[in-house]
Structure formats: structure tokens, C-alpha cells
Amino acid sequence: MSSLSPIQIPSRLPLLLTHEGVLLPGSTMRTSVDSARNLQLVRSRLLKGTSLQSTILGVIPNTPDPASDAQDLPPLHRIGTAALAVQVVGSNWPKPHYTLLITGLCRFQIVQVIKEKPYPVAKVEQLDWLEEFPNTCKTREELGELSEQFYKYAVQLVEMLDMSVPAVAKLRRLLDSLPREALPDILTSIIRTSNKEKLQILDAVSLEERFKMTIPLLVRQIEGLKLLQKTRKHKQDDDKRVIAIRPIRRITHIPGTLEDEDEDEDNDDIVMLEKKIRTSSMPDQAHKVCVKEIKRLKKMPQSMPEYALTRNYLELMVELPWNKSTTDRLDIRAARILLDNDHYAMEKLKKRVLEYLAVRQLKNNLKGPILCFVGPPGVGKTSVGRSVAKTLGREFHRIALGGVCDQSDIRGHRRTYVGSMPGRIINGLKTVGVNNPVFLLDEVDKLGKSLQGDPAAALLEVLDPEQNHNFTDHYLNVAFDLSQVLFIATANTTATIPPALLDRMEIIQVPGYTQEEKIEIAHRHLIPKQLEQHGLTPQQIQIPQVTTLDIITRYTREAGVRSLDRKLGAICRAVAVKVAEGQHREARLDRPDVAEGEGYREHIVEDTKPESISDTTDLALPPEMPILIDFHALKDILGPPMYEMEVSERLSQPGVAIGLAWTPLGGEIMFVEASRMDGEGQLTLTGQLGDVMKESAHLAISWLRSNAKKYHLTNGRWN
């Protein structure tokens, strides 16, 4: 009998906590790593380490690792298996995780846990040395007998299997070439055993105990096999393969075999998945693909990386809402009321949306057009999209396209990629669970382009009503009908939207708001919303219209109302502090031990200045409700005004004219100032002007020169 060269493991090992499966020395296992501590271990030891030693881990079985590393380390199983990480595969789907291929080296025992974070490291004592039988005569003899008996059963079992299967033939050869003391571990991991049994074998540190415990497992397997062969005699030889080494998932219950709970669960999952595929209402083409994939999955050993990929794929396929939709409740009058309630002004936009909805009411399967709301930020494009979904009674999903520069973001990755995922459209459908949601494609003007393809081109297929009933995501590789989805796009400008994409959409301009409109929006929508978010009531805070106007003109400069909303939020926060402080003080003052009698109260009343929001002295009384936000309070909370109305001041100087400018963020006014000075008669332009502006300036001076006589401008002045 040959002996393996003894393995010496490091005295300190990083610990990988596993819950599924038990790794025995001499066997190989795939394990999924997704908890915070285990992920850290893989990243810092396996992916960064370069030495062989850095790939040796201590695998602790039967120890669920808490999902977050903030939680304490669970009680660790005493005995573990030192393992060599042979392969690391990373994936992002359905969540970031690694799959490790690990080979067991030998048993070890934890002596002391040295550190717990970011991953546990322990001082360990090696238990297996893979040496030959101990030398004491009695044990040697006893063990010799035991090992003979064990070997006999092992050979009997292997010979009952189909020797034409290469793995079986290899196992037969291994039985002869491996040292006997390594066989109990290896055979236990190969034959059908439960995790509990494997754990018992792992805990059996003495060789004698290990042989004794493994023999009944072999006998059980042999009996089970005999029975199976008897009952399946009529079937083809092929069935032998079924029970062959490990494709256990397909085997029906083997009498006499203790069913492993985990494997049963797995088995159940596959059966469930198959059932779901059978009962799902997916189209024929998709159904065929799923049936083919589930057949492959059943034949696949669970340890193959492709197993997880195929399973995820099938799970997505059954989850997708191929035929599930919500019923539209379309009532144009209700829709009008709802839109009016949610949004002030925006008449043009609301009119067009209502027209669109009206046509849908009359013709249910309306093909296109795709609406695209274009306007400056914060004018309510996104929230109108949300209201449309609400009026239709449909699910709403927002897809942010800003900065997307990879076409696989839209169309998914092919499944051959590691970490492949479906695109955002399919993902969105999975999230909403129906095939007729409202998809808001936010910021279509901010799509990028890169070496990974042009996402705008991928969107063309999605948005074209003639093509999108056959949309094929690379990950799914079968067509999904998007024709029921209502797409609404938003953009700040049409200038950067690719023409082909622009052509497929109906542009609706959403202009910025006037001051009056902003005041109305603030009082009807923004202030009530902010009060609710901050737990305030109108009895506690009062913001008059002049204050809102002050905020609009002196603290914000925008076409929409987003900054206004933020400023109102800041005011509510400050008032919330005052109200909370007030309640606290009221409670304190009511307590006789704190408010040393009436005199104390009177004293404060005398000293208190008229109510101001900035008053933070500890002695102040609770502010009187409602707290009025006047200009002083505004200054206290928001600081000094950021913008001044400078028009009249600047226009009073001769030589200053007002120009109008347009930007995607809204209109701007600018001052053009001309001043005369001594010199060579040259025109000096400042302010980083564009060509058109420069030309205008030259034009102006040329005009002056050509009309100098008419206006009595003497030559001397111009030269």
C-alpha cells in the first residue's frame, strides 16, 4: 500500500464558513460565497494573495455565516477541513457572489480564533497526517481487518455500477492506487450520504472509527442499488448511470437510503421549476428553450458553474410576466382630475397626455407614438410620467439612462459571459411583474457611446412599435413582446438625442415656470408635501406668499421647482427643530422641579425678545404657533440672499443693454456693457464670447461708424 506524502498546513488559517455540503479530505466541492465575511476572505486572500499558502483555507462546515459582518461570529464547528482553492469564479447575478472550487487536504481542529474581522482567522492544529496505520500491533491488526472489509464492500459497490462510464472506471482504478486510509473520506463524499453523515465522518478523527462508520454507509448503498436494479430490470442499462456516482438529483427514492435533506430540497426545487415551466403561459418558443434547458440542468452535476447559471436563467424565464397584465382603467374625466390635482399649470403637456389617453381608450391596442417630454430639470416631467401610470392603473418603472454607455445595459449580456445579466428592460419587467407597465426612460439625452456599443441603437428596437413585439434580450435569447409596454421618455434637450431615436418619439416641450406659477406650485403641492415629510402641520408653520416669492427670486435661479422644493425642505427642517425643542421645553417647564415656581416663568417672559426663528437661547419659551416665516426668518435659515435683482440698478448706467440667452436649464438674461476709452480705436471684447456674439459686436460698431455723421459723432472721437 502506498502512502501519500504528508501534508503540512500553516498553523494559522483563514476560515471559510459554509453551511451547504461538507468537504471531506481528498474530495472536491464547489461552494458559493455570498456573505460579507466570506466575500472579504476571497477578495483579500484568494484574489490578492500570490503564494500557494494564500490559497489554503480552513473550511468550517455546518456554520451559517451571518449575512452582515456587523453580526457576531456564530459558534464554529470544532473540526474543519483545510482546503486548497483551485478556482474562483465571480458573478454579479442575482447578487455579487463567488463560486469556489475547493479540494480538501486534511482535518484540523480550531485551537483559538485570533481575529474575527474582516474575516475570521484561527490558530489550528492539524489532525490528519495521512500516514500509514499506527504501529501498535493490536490496532494494526484490527485496522487491517477493518480496512480489508471496507475495501471489499467498496469494490463490490463499484462493480455494481456501469463500468463503461469513465468516472466509474476511474474510481475502480483509484480504489487500488489510493492508500486505504484515504478511502473512507473519498468514498463517503462520492456515495449517497446526507450532510449529517458526512459531518460524522469528518468528526471521526481516529481512523478506526472512520472505517467503522463508513462500512454501514457502503452496505446501505449496495442494498439500495440491488433493489433498484431489481425494480428497474425492464429498463435499459442506461439506468445504471443514473445511480452512478453523483447525478443524484434524478434518482427517485432508493429504498433503504437515508434521504439527504439538502439534496431533497434541491431535488424539490428542480421539480418545482419544471412544474412552473410546464404551467407557465410563456410562448411556445420560450417554452421549448426552457424544456431543453431543464433537461440539461437535470443531467448536470450541481458543482458545475453552469448549473447555477442555467438555474438562474430558468428562474428568470418562469418569473417573467409573459402573459400577465393589469387591466387598464381608463376614464378620461378621472384622468383629467388626477393630472390637475397632481400638477399645477403645464396645460400643453396635460392636454397632449389626455389626448393620448383618450385615443387609447377608443383603440386599446394603440401602436405608438412614444411620448418624449423635453424641458429643463425640475419641471415635473418624471412626475407626470408617474401620474400617467396612476391614471391608467398601471405599474410604473423608471429606467435611468443618464450615463449608460453600454448597449448590454439595454439588451443584456449573452449568457456565455461570466456574470451575464439581462438588460434593464427585462429586469424592469421582472420587477413590476406585468407585461404592460409604464416605463419611464429618464434622461434619454444623456445616453453615452463607448466601445461596448451604442445604447441608443439598442433603444431603437425597444421604442419602435413595429419591432418591439419581438424584442430579443441577449440574455434571454428568445423574443419578448414589449408592445403592451407604454414607454415615456424624458430629456432636457433634443440636441443630444440621436436623430434616429428622436424620429421615433413625439416631442412635447415642457417649458419652465413663471414666478406666479412657481408660487402656486409651492403653495398647492410643495409646501403640503414638505410639511407631511417633516411631520409638521399648517398650525405649526406659516409661509406667506411674499416669502415664497423671496425664495424664488433671491434664493433660486431655475426654470423648474427643484431648488425651491429643497429650500422649502430646509425651512421645514429648521421649524421642526424649533417645534421639537418647544415641546421639550414645554414639558420641562410644566415640571415643578425644573421650573422653579411661577417667578421663573415670569422672568423669562419679560426677557424674551419678539419671536424669531434664530432664537436658540436655552431660556426661550416655546415659540408661538404657527411660526411665521418672514424675511428675517428666511435669512436666518437660508443665509443671505444668493441673487439680487440687479436689472434696474445696472440699466441706469449708460451703455448697458439686456441680452436674452437660452440654455437647456432655462432662459437667462445677460448684460451687455459697452464703454468708451482712449486708445487706437480698436474694439476689445471680453467675457468668452462665441463667434455670433463677436460678430454682433463688430456689426454694432460698424453701424455706428457708418452713421457717425447722422448722429454728429465727430471723427476725432473715433480715431
Residues in contact with ligand ATP by CB under 6 A are 343-346, 377-383, 442, 490, 492, 521, 525, 560-562, 565
Give bridge partners of residue 370 from the DSSP assignment: 505
CB of 193 to ligand ATP, least distance (A): 58
CB atoms within 10 A of CB 114: 11
Q: How far is the CB of 502 from ligand ATP (least distance, A)?
A: 17
CA gap 429, 485 in Å, rounded? 9
CB of 432 to ligand ATP, least distance (A): 20
Q: At its nearest, how many Å lie between ligand ATP and the CB of residue 349?
A: 9
Which cell numbers in the block locate residue 476?
Answer: 434571454
Burial (CB count within 10 angstroms: exposed 0-12, middle 13-18, buried 19+), residue 208:
middle
Contact partners, residue 408, CB within 8 Å, separation at least 6: 423, 452, 453, 474
Report the residue number, 26 or 666, with the smaller CB distance to ligand ATP: 666
Q: Are 388 and 436 in contact (CB under 8 A)?
A: no
Binding residues: 375-382
Which residue lies nearer to ligand ATP by CB, 430 or 562? 562
CA atoms within 13 A on the CB side of 244: 20
> Which C-beta is closer to ligand ATP: that of 56 or that of 536?
536
The residue type of 423 is G
CB of 444 to ligand ATP, least distance (A): 11
User: Cβ 403 to ligand ATP, closest distance in Å?
Assistant: 13
Considering beta carbons, is residue 77 or 525 the nearer one to ligand ATP? 525
CB 512 within 8 A of CB 559: yes
Nearest residue (CB) to ligand ATP, 571 versus 613: 571
Cβ 540 to ligand ATP, closest distance in Å? Answer: 22
Distance CA 89, CA 304 (A): 11
Residue number with CB closer to ligand ATP (153 or 344): 344
Q: Is-contact 16 85, C-beta < 8 A? A: no
- Whole-number minimum distance, CB 458 to ligand ATP, in Å? 22
Name all contacts of 214-218 with Cβ < 8 Å and 24+ positions apart: 214/150, 214/184, 214/187, 214/188, 215/146, 215/149, 215/150, 215/153, 217/188, 217/191, 217/193, 218/150, 218/153, 218/154, 218/157, 218/187, 218/191
Are the C-beta atoms of residues 414 and 476 closer than 8 Å to each other? no
Q: How far apart are CA 500 and CA 490, in angstroms?
A: 16
Nearer to ligand ATP, 292 or 348 (CB): 348
Alpha-carbon torsion angle 201, 202, 204, 210, nearest 10 = 40
107 φψ region: left (φ > 0), alpha (ψ -120 to 50), beta (else): beta
> CB 446 → ligand ATP: shortest distance, Å?
10
Q: Which of 418, 382, 380, 379 is nearest to 400 (CA)?
A: 382
Task: From 104, 133, 106, 126, select the one nearest 207 (Cα to Cα).
Answer: 133
Pick between residue 185 and residue 445 the one whose CB is nearest to ligand ATP.
Answer: 445
Taking the chain, what is the end-to-end CA distance rounded to the nearest angstrom?
113
Q: Which residue's CB comes closest to ligand ATP?
A: 380
Closest separation in Å from C-beta 492 to ligand ATP: 6
Binding site members for ATP: 375-382
To ligand ATP, the closest distance from the beta carbon of 549 in angstroms equals 17
Question: What cell was used for 484?
Answer: 403592451
How far is the C-alpha of 359 from the C-alpha of 328, rounded, in Å?
13
| Residue that has been written with the C-alpha cell 458553474 in this structure | 305
Q: How many Cα atoms sit within 13 Å of 130 on the Cβ side?
A: 21
Residue 426 or 444: which CB sits closer to ligand ATP?
444
Nearer to ligand ATP, 381 or 411 (CB): 381
Q: Kindly report the backbone phi and psi dihedral angles of residue 197, in degrees, each rounded to the nearest multiple of 5, phi listed first.
A: -65, -40
The backbone region for 504, taken as left when phi is positive above 0, alpha when psi lies in -120 to 50, beta otherwise, is alpha
Cβ distance to ligand ATP smaller for residue 390 or 430: 390
CB 532 → ligand ATP: shortest distance, Å? 13
**Cβ pair 171, 158 in contact under 8 A:** yes
* Nearest CB to ligand ATP, comparing residues 85 and 572: 572
